[in-house]
Structure 1
Amino acid sequence: MDQSTSNHSDVIIVGAGPTGLMLANILGMYGHSVTVLEARDSLIDYPRGVGLDDESLRTIQTVGLVDEVRPHTTPQHIMRLVNGRGKSILINNPRTDEFGWERKHGFIQPEVDKVLLKGLSRFPSVQVLFGHSADRIEETESSVIAQVTVPDGEGGTSEHHFEAQYLVGCEGGKSPTRKRLGVSFDGKSPSTRWLVVDVNNDPLGTPNVFLGADPKRPYVSIGLPHAVRRWEFMLHDNEPEELATDPKFVNQMLANHVPDPAKLDFIRRRVFTHHARVAGSFRQGRQLIAGDAAHLMPVWMGQGWNSGMRDATNLGWKLSSVLRGMARDNILDTYTDERMDHAKAMVDLSLTFGKIIKITNPLGVAARDSASKILNFFPSVKSYFADMRFKPMPRYTKGVLADPTSFQSGRAAGVLSGKLIPVATANTKASPVGVQFIQPLVHTEELGTVRLDDAIGKWWTLMVLGNDPHDVLPAETIAQLTELQARLVAIVPDTQYAWAQRDMHEETLVLSDVTGRLKKWFDDRPTPMLLLRPDRFVAGACLNQDGPKTIAAVLESMTFIDARTSAPQPAGNSIGI
């Protein structure tokens, strides 16, 4: 970050919360100028979010901060749903690592947010301005202008103007940007209030999460990194906030959980209400919203922080595509198309899970506990909960993608319906288009054994199994991929690595599938050619001969601008990857 303040940038981000900081890291990584405006004087320093998932850690890996973040996490965070007698009725312990990392982590949000902030110092084009309140926004045909109030250090204030091509509001649930856009914020805020208690020097020491479905008073107990413990207790209607924050009352809440509540080292005691809302649109003109500004989630699935990371991951490369002159700004409409439905799904799941925990009616409690006993007798059902397969993974059916059967641009069905033998004999008919690709280990002579993303880079990737892309695609398609700045990759078994290195095109990146997990993925699917987006979602998947049609349809869906046939683009359109 420059020490001097620039009033002109590519993007203004309002709010230095986790979503805004991650979006600034992504844009900075791609070489764009960013101004982050934060009304507070510093980052929030008390614990808030406590769950970090594999998708978020993959994004953190992409921006090069995973080694700094990992010390503030507890991998393989196991969750146990227990009844009023303390007996486990459901265990959530997913062991999958298809995206390169453990599925669930406990984490200390203030420490991770600090890493995201410090990471911005790597980019001279990014500035973070604390104590800067964006009070009024004017949008013109070509820019957004923010009128900002800044304390002058002498008890007064001064006004400054900041201008950018786009503005992204990441200011939280009360987002002025969302209100200014005039979009709806549909959903509900359940009347149930909760007391959250965070303490240092964890007096219990157990490392995982306990959701107490106790009809007398539902609770949560969470062991976190750095010896932090969190409890949450549901408050009854006759317990006002003043009582809930009284030390004696808090100690009564903790009496069944810790031997001596009076000796705890409290970080905070606070009452909060869950919210479940999603904005009607995430974009209007040159202004967009992300994170809590776009959706608010109940805490049960730990998806508030992670959903903000998904927003930044989806939006960052699309803004970069527009700013680099690679795509028209229509591509920004796909941000809402792709993120809204999944945000709604996560809100609905969190609400449902909360209802299960909050049951207080004795008959309802008995029915829930009996049902859990019966379900545990069925291994497939038990693993459905244990492996967290109930969590809706993002699947985009509209956006920057192409249907693998019809080659329709901008839409993709969830199933493969082709009649060719390779499709008819496939192990799965589920389409890989619109879902996130796996991240196993691969090997190259230059890098050694690394995770896939670290080998292929941070932009578009055209991946072919067992073939050189240059040999199976015509020159015109290769030229389009070159304009896209896509990396051309060949995946081969380790036994064929030396041959491929010798015989394939010098610009083809050859990766050895040292674990066999990539081969297994392709074994199950009749799509040996993939076009991967910068966010690692599959935009196109096909047989090799269908590559030109598939790639053309994907480029159309992103409103791709081919510099060879279009007017000259602004200078500096090389992606920093």
Structure 2
Amino acid sequence: MDTTHDSDVLIVGAGPAGLMLANILGMYGRTVTVLEALDQLIDYPRGVGLDDESFRTIQAVGLVDTVRPHTNPQHIMRLVNGAGKVMLVNNPQTDEFGWERKHGFIQPEVDRALYEGLARFPHVQVHFGHRVENVEEDRDSVTAIAVVTGMDGKTVEHRFHARYLVGCEGGKSPTRKRLGVSFEGESPSTRWLVVDVENDPLGTPNVFLGADPKRPYVSIGLPHAVRRWEFMLHEGETEDQVTDPNYVNALLAEHVPDPASLDFIRRRVFTHHGRVASSFRTGRQMIAGDAAHLMPVWMGQGWNSGMRDATNLGWKLSAVLSGQAGDALLDTYTSERKDHAQAMVDLSLTFGKFIKITNPIAATARDAASSVLNRFPQVKSYFADMRFKPMPRYTRGVLADPSTQESGRARARITSKLIPVRTANTTVSPVGVQFPQPRVNTRGSANILLDDAIGNWWTVLVWGNNPKDVLPQPSLEKLAALGARLVAAVPETQREWAEQYMDNDVLVVGDHTGRLKKWFDDRPTPLVFLRPDRFVAGACLTQHAPATLDAILHAMAFTGSPAATLLDDAPAPPSDSAASPSHPQPTQEELAS
């Protein structure tokens, strides 16, 4: 048996969730080993939708420039009936998180960008051809036993030792099965044929969902001239039958003049699943991505949900590993992520049932109802702006209630009787939701995205005031130990004055677009505590800040250890220019070594 390899975190599976988690942990200076059973990354298209939340995470790890060329921003979706009449258009225009709400993308290329980005971190290693056969866990660590098969057919066992393990191996996750957690939900009986082609014969850059009762279909324009079709299969159609080239050509005959001349990438049958694990953590092992939840393709949220998992878990693991937080912080991973994953599964299942209607009478009724509803501007914009998509709102976790300062919980509304609350434009609480990302000016940079200005760890953002003037010294000392950045947001007209007036350790951001002012103007919360994942942990009047901070620190099991143990060891926020141009995958000889 080979010598044991040590690292902070073992990630099993080099899929998107595992690769992103490795990038986040690498950014924070943690040592990571990724074990992948396959000999290389999957090279065929799977997911096709990338949203603004995921792009914000891609921005955080410095990979925007390498991912962006493989995307179609502003990916419009049109739902059409059997006659081709548009029933619904989904074309959100908002960019509240700094990026377009929807993108089409080529998953193999984006996954490869995430993989090659790991070359920036010498403390992150990826091992292909390593199939994890077993995991041993004790009080302080986990050990994965991986099997490697060499060119001669002989197998060698390797032991990989770490403090935590995260299984990101997909829907059949051995990690989830070892943990013994249930995988609750349903697998609809309908099957679909996926057909991907190169040299897109249609060229339309967006998505058509065909709610045709004769055979529902999907037609998707993707980057790099790739076209995807999906066709719902009828009872009795076998996989061999529907993947036969002649059968596929017959299905495509209504879409292109000459199907036989297409450049096919693949033809594959799949079944939709809607399942969520009962827990995302047991002991020192966790699951993320498809290992934790599976959802139908309709909302394009499978890949993005894995990104949300990595974004949520990455900073928490880093805080625990650095000694800043106790192990209990990792329990909030399930409490924060599970409910939203379930909401996305439920929405995807519901939307699929709407599309998959094959009864002609029911389809006619659906089409008629859609036609009537489209006459109401509010209903039409509800779908166009994608307001039906549930945004993550954490009600339990690393939070403090804005009304009571209760630790670990946050209600959806602010209920204080103070006049600033009663007169506010909204009493919907900002705690537990993601903070917007407008562009700002700083002393050294103009018109940059907010996250690029404030960095990748905790932030205290105060509107119009110097944070050091409104926070007492004990709170400032706790924030210094946390490693939080003190940020004052002011109108651009006041920025130069504020830069002269405030200490150098306070970052002043100038709100030249007015979007930050609008956010603070609408809410009675001039002081905001932002987590590393850009969710609002607390928001309050300045006099409530000490109690709010203490509640947040209690919720994250803060130990009081200084942030230097985490932040001083980490590299500067990574940029694309620092990435190696290539990160070659190993040969079979190297796999067995």
Counterpart-to-counterpart distance in 2, 1:484 and 1:182: 35
Which residue matches 1:371?
Answer: 369
Asked if 1 retains the 8 angstrom alpha-carbon contact of 2:463 and 2:527, the reply is yes
Tell me the SS of whatever aligns to 2:255: coil
Provide structure 2 residue ranges, at least 5 long, that are not aligned to the other structure: 574-593
Letter in 2 for 1:204: L
In structure 2, give the amino acid aligned to 1:489: V
Aligned to 1:290: 288
For the 8 Å contact 1:143–1:164, the answer to whether it is kept is yes
* Counterpart AA for 2:349: L
Distance (Å, rounded) in 1 between the aligned partners of 2:567 and 2:49: 39
Matched, 1:380 2:378: yes
Match of 1:182 among 180, 184, 190: 180
CA distance in structure 1 between the aligned counterparts of 2:4 and 2:22, rounded to whole angstroms: 15
Secondary structure of 1:447's counterpart equals coil
Letter in 1 for 2:206: N
How far does residue 569 in structure 1 lie from its aligned partner after superposition?
10
- Structure 1 residues 342-376: Cα deviation after superposition (integer angstroms, max 9, x where no partner): 00000000000000100011221111111111111
1:401/1:554 contact within 8 Å kept: yes
Cα pair distance change 1:6/1:70, threshold 3 Å:
farther
Provide the rounded CA distance (Å) in 1 between the counterparts of 2:135 and 2:485: 39
Q: Which residue of 2 aligns with 1:474?
A: 472
Distance 1:449 1:263 in 2: 48
Q: CA–CA distance in 2 between the matches of 1:574 and 1:42?
A: 31
Residue 74 of structure 2 is matched in structure 1 by 76
Indicate the SS of the match to 1:308: helix
In the other structure, the counterpart of 1:156 is 154
Pair 1:447-2:409 in alignment: no
Residue-by-residue CA offset, 1:37-71 (whole Å, 9 max, x unaligned): 00000000000000000000000000000111000
Q: 1:98 aligns with which of 82, 96, 106?
A: 96
Once residues 423 and 537 of structure 2 are traced to their aligned partners in structure 1, the CA distance between those partners, rounded to angstroms, is 23
3-state SS of 1:444 partner: coil
Aligned match for 1:128, one of 126, 140, 147: 126
% identical equivalent positions: 71
8 Å contact from structure 1 (residues 189, 275) kept in 2: yes
| Pairs within 5 Å for 1:480-491 | 480-491=478-489
**Given residue 165 of structure 1, which amino acid in structure 2 is its aligned partner?**
R
Determine if contact 1:324/1:574 at 8 Å carries over to the other structure: no
Q: Aligned equivalents of 2:432 and 2:257: distance in 1?
A: 50
SS at match of 2:441: strand
**Match for 2:311: what amino acid?**
T
Contact 1:149-1:157 at 8 Å conserved across structures = yes
Q: 2 CA distance for matches of 1:161 and 1:574?
A: 26
In 1, Cα distance between equivalents of 2:119 and 2:152: 28
Normalising by structure 1, report the TM-score. 0.97
Partner residue, 1:45: 43
Q: For 2:208, give the aligned amino acid.
A: F
Q: Which has the higher contact order (CA 8 A, sep 6+)?
A: 2
Deviation at 1:153, TM superposition (A): 2.7
Offset of 1:575 from its aligned partner? 5.1
Q: What TM-score, normalized by structure 2, do the two folds share?
A: 0.95
What letter corresponds to residue 248 of structure 1 in structure 2?
N
Q: How far apart are residue 155 of structure 1 and its match?
A: 1.6
Query: Are the aligned partners of 1:241 and 1:271 in contact in 2 as well (CA < 8 Å)?
Result: yes
Distance in 1 of aligned mates of 2:566 and 2:443:
35
Q: Does 1:217 find its partner at 2:215?
A: yes
C-alpha distance in 2, partners of 1:571/1:536? 18
Q: Counterpart amino acid of 2:429?
A: S
- Measure the CA separation in 1 of the matches of 2:113 and 2:37: 20
Q: CA deviation at 1:152?
A: 2.8
Shift in Å, 1:6: 7.8
Q: Displacement of 1:202 after TM fit?
A: 0.1
By how many angstroms is 1:570 displaced? 7.2
RMSD over equivalenced CA pairs, Å: 1.3
The Cα offsets for residues 450-497 of structure 1, whole Å up to 9 and x where unpaired, read as 000000000000000000100000000000000000000000001101
Output the CA distance in 2 between the equivalents of 1:287 and 1:120: 22
The answer as to whether partners of 1:324 and 1:573 remain within 8 angstroms in 2 is no
Provide closer, same or farther for how the CA distance between residues 51 and 569 of structure 1 changes in structure 2, counting only shifts above 3 A: closer
* Residue 61 (structure 1) aligns with: 59
CA contact (8 A) 2:319 2:566 kept: no
Confirm or deny: 8 A CA contact 2:318 2:566 kept in the other structure.
no
1:150 positional shift: 1.1
Does 2:535 match 1:537? yes
1:318 maps to a residue whose letter is K
How many pairs align? 570
